[in-house]
Amino acid sequence: MTESKFPPPPDKKELETNRELTPRFDKDGLVTAIVTDYENGELLMVAHMNDEALAKTIATGQSHFWSRSRQELWHKGVTSGTTQKVHEIRTDCDQDAIWLKVSVEGSGATCHTGMKSCFYRSVELKDGKAILVRDKIDPLFDPAEIYGNKT
Amino acid sequence: MTESKFPPPPDKKELETNRELTPRFDKDGLVTAIVTDYENGELLMVAHMNDEALAKTIATGQSHFWSRSRQELWHKGVTSGTTQKVHEIRTDCDQDAIWLKVSVEGSGATCHTGMKSCFYRSVELKDGKAILVRDKIDPLFDPAEIYGNKT
């Protein structure tokens, strides 16, 4: 375990009022990261950051996350040319969530399915059952072309 | 353990394309819930939902979460009169996050500090160190009046 890149979180009250970024990483060493479109505020994706991903995002101005499935640092968008330029970073009252306002390079897609946002389906009730209704929008790229068989 | 209120999640590909809500709860039985303002898209809060909280949110049209600190179902805003009316629910590609677009009743505050959004501080670099800069906006209520000593 390398030394943390941020000071340890203080007590709850101080977390809400302090002027130092002291992220409250969970037992897996992660905070939640919310990514929205800098221009129109649309929610693009939700991911996670460890200490290193957050520090790299702040230092480089490009979104970095921790991939829980691959268990590795993830410079978002490098494979598909859709890196995220970070315009603003915010944190919440208890500093266990990070909000990035970004613009997306290349095709502008954030989701690995090629859709602009990962949230391309709404939940609706039909006969008392929750169903998903997909937005009538085409993907911005073909995942098979970009990732081959990796998706 | 009571029976789940949703069908079990299928494999990754089907999660992305199916028309049934099959939330992928984590090992603690939770999905991430992102709450934004229905009117202007502002990110208000990030919380978590278990099976019951998600089902109640869908059924009642009012935001319900699972409080990890109190380990109980949490009908958001009941104590402070700031319940959330849910206008739209969306989910992401792998169905482990839920996006609620809401309007907030009463004072309009979402954060227990009285602020409209929990994300009332931005992260800025000063002499190579990440500091937090608080928005110059007053809280919408006084937490001491609403919660007494509970905060």
Q: What is the ipTM of this complex?
A: 0.93
B93 contacts in chain A (CB < 8 Å): 111-113, 115, 118, 120
Q: Enter the DSSP assignment of A4.
A: P
| Residue-level pLDDT at B48 | 98
Task: Give me A91's structure tokens.
Answer: 């944190």
Helices (H) and strands (E) in chain A, counts: 3, 8
CA distance A41 to chain B (A): 6
The pLDDT confidence band at residue B2, using thresholds 50, 70 and 90, is: low
Taking only the tens place, the pLDDT of each residue in A94-131 is 999 999 999 999 999 999 999 999 999 999 998 888 99
Q: pTM for this one? A: 0.94
User: How many whole angstroms separate alpha carbon B35 and alpha carbon B109?
Assistant: 13
Taking only the tens place, the pLDDT of each residue in B17-67 is 989 999 999 999 999 999 999 999 999 999 999 999 999 999 999 999 999
A115 contacts in chain B (CB < 8 Å): 93
Residue B6 has pLDDT above 70, yes or no: yes
User: How many whole angstroms separate alpha carbon B125 and alpha carbon B6?
Assistant: 44
Mean pLDDT of A40-68: 97
| Residue-level pLDDT at B56 | 97
Q: How many CA atoms lie within 13 A of A124 on its CB side?
A: 9
| Residue-level pLDDT at B151 | 46
| Residue-level pLDDT at B1 | 47
| Residue-level pLDDT at B145 | 85
Nearest to B38, CA basis, from B121, B110, B146: B110
CB contact under 8 A, A20 and B131: yes
CA distance B46 to chain A (A): 7
Burial B2-16 (b: 16+ CB within 10 A, else e): eeebbeebeeeeebb
For tokens 């000593």, the residue is: B149
- pLDDT > 70 in chain A, percent: 97
Closest in B6, B36, B92 to A118, CB measured: B92
- The three-point CA angle A56-A58-A60 to 5° equals 60
B41 contacts in chain A (CB < 8 Å): 36, 40-42
| Residue-level pLDDT at B128 | 84
**B15 CB-near residues (< 8 Å, 6+ apart):** B9, B22, B24, B93, B94, B95
Q: State the sign of the Cα–Cα–Cα–Cα dihedral B97, B98, B102, B104.
A: negative
Task: Give me B114's structure tokens.
Answer: 């009285």
